[in-house]
């Protein structure tokens, strides 16, 4: 691969740029991340996945939001990264591990097409409901069915960590305008010291649910793997679904499996959009 080579891939409409730390000449500052993710002045993306070295897993991954902040974990980002690792011959194994800020993740290539990874399963770790570990500022041990005052509304919320914080709100009807209106306020609410991802969820059966997503640092998002895992975990804890749940989003659907110890496995498709090389002019602008 050339210096400053990039790959752009989406997981159910949630798109990321993949870069290799050892093969880029730019300084990946907050400003540079924002510029790369900008649809007018950059490549346009929901975030950046940076391959780094790891002493604990087969590969290391850092995940950056389009605002330049760093995320602990991303389900779609992980599957996209795993496709990159497999497609570009960085491993011949169909099972390997990835170290993220939110912990070590085990991945498996389930299905390929023309020798390219298509369907990928990722072990997302444990769902954690302890209020302080998420973290939240609530005094209760767990935040399940707690009240949150959000501007002119009061929501009943449920919080969980998938290596990153999530706030799940059950709704009888899902309205895009509503999550766009209140998502940012909830994300930045003082009860969430590290901010939080937000999901509005509607249960349609014991095996299916529909969700809308407001992603921390990214905003309204078509799909999110960690959000799907968070919603499935909360619904399972409230005994509203079984241990295998299909989560439907605007960008597509994911299968989430939850075992008796709250270990989460996520399976879904990823598809490459493009690859190329960042131009010298673009690198010059980024390094200013």
**What are the domain boundaries of the chain?**
5-124+270-286, 144-261
Range 31-56 average pLDDT: 96
Range 274-280 average pLDDT: 96
pLDDT band at 287 (very low <50, low <70, confident <90, very high): confident
CATH for 5-124+270-286? 3.10.310.10
Range 15-29 average pLDDT: 95
Q: Please tell me whether the peptide bond between 170 and the residue prior to it is cis, using omega within 30 degrees of 0.
A: no
Cα distance between residue 246 and residue 70, in whole Å: 28
**pLDDT tens-digit series, residues 185-224:** 999 999 999 999 999 999 999 999 999 999 998 899 999 9
Asked whether this chain's domains 5-124+270-286 and 144-261 adopt the same fold, the reply is yes
pLDDT band at 2 (very low <50, low <70, confident <90, very high): confident
Distance of CA 186 to the CA centre of its chain: 18
144-261 under CATH 3.10.310.10, yes or no: yes
Please give the pLDDT value at position 215: 94
Residue that has been written with the tokens 């444990």 in this structure? 126
- Which run of H or E residues covers position 122? strand 116-126
**pLDDT tens-digit series, residues 57-108:** 999 999 999 999 999 888 899 999 999 999 999 999 999 999 999 889 999 9
Cα distance between residue 188 and residue 217, in whole Å: 10
Please give the pLDDT value at position 55: 96
Per-residue pLDDT at 150 exceeds 80: yes
pTM given for the model: 0.88
CA geometry: angle 238, 101, 38, nearest 5 deg:
95
Using alpha carbons, select from 282, 239, 273 the residue that is nearest to residue 83: 273
> 75-87 and 225-237 helices cross at what angle (nearest 10)?
130
Per-residue pLDDT at 1 exceeds 80: no
Tell whether the torsion through CA atoms of 73, 7, 34 and 179 is positive or negative.
negative
Per-residue pLDDT at 241 exceeds 80: yes
Using alpha carbons, select from 202, 219, 205 the residue that is nearest to residue 46: 219
Residue that has been written with the tokens 């190329």 in this structure? 276
Residues facing 98 on adjacent strands: 59, 105
């Amino acid at each position: 691969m050339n210096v400053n080579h990039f790959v752009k891939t989406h997981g159910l409409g949630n798109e990321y740029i993949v870069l290799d730390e050892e093969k880029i000449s730019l300084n990946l500052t907050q400003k540079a991340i924002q510029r790369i993710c900008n649809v007018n002045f950059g490549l346009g993306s929901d975030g950046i996945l940076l391959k780094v070295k790891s002493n604990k897993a087969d590969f290391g991954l850092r995940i950056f939001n389009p605002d330049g902040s760093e995320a602990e974990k991303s389900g779609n980002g992980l599957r996209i990264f795993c496709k990159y690792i497999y497609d570009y011959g960085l491993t011949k194994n169909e099972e390997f591990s990835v170290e993220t800020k939110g912990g070590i993740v085990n991945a498996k290539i389930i299905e390929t097409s023309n020798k390219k990874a298509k369907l990928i399963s990722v072990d997302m770790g444990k769902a954690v409901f302890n209020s302080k570990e998420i973290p939240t500022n609530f005094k209760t041990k767990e935040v399940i069915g707690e009240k949150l005052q959000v501007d002119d509304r009061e929501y009943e919320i449920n919080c969980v960590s998938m290596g990153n914080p999530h706030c799940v709100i059950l709704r009888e009807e899902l309205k895009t305008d509503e999550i766009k209106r209140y998502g940012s306020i909830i994300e930045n609410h003082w009860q969430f010291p590290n901010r939080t991802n937000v999901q509005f969820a509607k249960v349609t059966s014991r095996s299916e649910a529909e969700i809308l997503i407001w992603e921390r640092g990214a905003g309204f998002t078509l799909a999110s793997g960690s959000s799907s895992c968070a919603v499935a975990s909360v619904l399972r804890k409230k005994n509203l679904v079984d241990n295998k749940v299909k989560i439907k989003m605007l960008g597509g659907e994911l299968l989430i499996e939850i075992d008796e110890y709250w270990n989460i496995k996520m399976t879904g498709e990823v598809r490459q959009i493009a690859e190329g090389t960042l131009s010298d002019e673009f690198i010059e602008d980024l390094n200013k």
